[in-house]
A = this chain, B = another copy of it.
Amino acid sequence: MSDAPPRPAFLPTDVRHSLPMALLRAREAVMARFRPMLDRHGVNEQQWRVLRVLAEAEELDATQVAARASILAPSLTRMAKSMAERGLIARRKDAGDARRVLLRLAPAGEAVLRTAASESRALTEALIAEFGAERTAALIDHLNALAALGSEAALRAADRAGHEARDAGDG
């Protein structure tokens, strides 16, 4: 409390109550718990996401993997190369559409999932136990609802609001 000196009046929103920053901090705190486990299994956070997405589908093209794992296409291109070299995943070209690259789990990737699954579940359950089961479920629902807002119409509306505010705000 002692370090809140005369605040300039022009700042946007208090950092303490900013939704983007709250999301960032929460994610960091959660990932800090999972990172040691992933390190032990030789994969990073993004590779782990790719493996899990592929575990839920037989075979997917790169665009779908990127969308489901929340990874951008250029990142996935780099990752797929190194993961294929390590035997975590397998790549092949789509016979019907030569633009597409199809990805699937390879044995080493299945092995990582298999041996990490129990640890991952334990960490998840420990977190849920600390934070509360109902509270966690509700939080995930809210987060998914928030993510679902980010569709085209909403984005345009937000952009218009920005322009209007800029006209009216600080003349």
Contact = CB atoms under 8 A, between A and B. Distances in A.
A56 B116 contact: no
A108 interface: no
Nearest to A14: B56
Contact of A15 (B15, B23, B56, B158): B56
Interface string A131-159: 10001101110111111111000110111
A1 interface: no
Interface in A2-43: 3-8, 10-15, 17-34, 36-37
Contacts of A119: 162, 165-166, 169
A127 interface: yes
A91 interface: no
Interface in A21-70: 21-34, 36-37, 49, 52-53, 55-58, 68-70
Nearest to A64: B3
A125 interface: yes
A32 to B, nearest CB: 5
Interface of A: 3-8, 10-15, 17-34, 36-37, 49, 52-53, 55-58, 68-70, 110, 113-127, 130-131, 135-136, 138-140, 142-150, 154-155, 157-159, 161-162, 164-166, 168-170
22 contacts: A4-B57, A7-B56, A13-B120, A15-B52, A15-B53, A19-B30, A20-B34, A23-B30, A25-B147, A26-B146, A28-B147, A29-B150, A33-B158, A117-B169, A117-B170, A118-B170, A119-B162, A121-B165, A122-B164, A130-B149, A130-B154, A135-B142
